[in-house]
Amino acid sequence: MPRSFDSPRILILKSLIDPVRIEKSCEFYFRVNQKNEYILNCVKRILIANPNLIFFGDNLSNVALQEFSMRQITVICNTSESIMKAISLSTNASILNSIEEIPFVQLGTCDSFKFETITSTSTKYSLLILDKCPLPCYFSVILRNLTSRQESTIKQILQYAIFGCF
């Protein structure tokens, strides 16, 4: 999975690409193969849009993740709805509720994408950067596990930086 690239084609999809689970099944092996075939068909439908960065609202099966990985497509799972809306606003991408909407999708774009991991003494943070979006009207800063003093200091720095930019 690429960790950075230029001019990504961004797809945002809310729903799972996973069939409804069948709890009681006599033909377990048949059902597993059928499920994998269904997932691969869903992946093929997504590949029609030709994205190279996909945001999903939920988890994905390992079968789908492996298929996307083989095709050098970066996948971000468990994306909250508010983050998907922010990415949609910034990149001009449409948010799809299901795979059936793929033929009518508008992929988002930006100048570059980077996935960075920041480590401190006891924690590890993941940072996604969508740089130079066509609609630079939105950005998010997520702060976790901070003391109130650290939080207020960072807020002051961010307010000053925003004031300086605008």
> Quick one: how many helices (H) and strands (E) in the chain?
4, 8
Q: Give residues with Cβ within 8 angstroms of 28, minimum separation 6.
A: none
| Per-residue pLDDT tens digits for 22-46 | 444 445 555 667 888 888 998 999 9
Q: What does DSSP say about strands 108-109 and 9-13: parallel, antiparallel, or unpaired?
A: antiparallel
pTM above 0.95, yes or no: no
Stretch 102-117: mean pLDDT, rounded? 88
In whole angstroms, what is the distance from residue 161 CA to residue 18 CA? Answer: 43
How many residues make up the chain in this entry?
166
| Per-residue pLDDT tens digits for 43-82 | 999 999 999 999 998 888 899 999 999 999 999 998 889 8
Element holding 112 (H helix, E strand):
strand 112-119
In whole angstroms, what is the distance from residue 137 CA to residue 118 CA? Answer: 25
pLDDT-derived band at 165, boundaries 50, 70, 90: low
Tokens linked to 156: 């002051």
In whole angstroms, what is the distance from residue 75 CA to residue 71 CA? Answer: 11
pLDDT-derived band at 9, boundaries 50, 70, 90: very high
What structural domains does the chain harbor?
Answer: 4-134 (3.50.7.10)
In whole angstroms, what is the distance from residue 18 CA to residue 38 CA? Answer: 8
In whole angstroms, what is the distance from residue 151 CA to residue 86 CA? Answer: 22
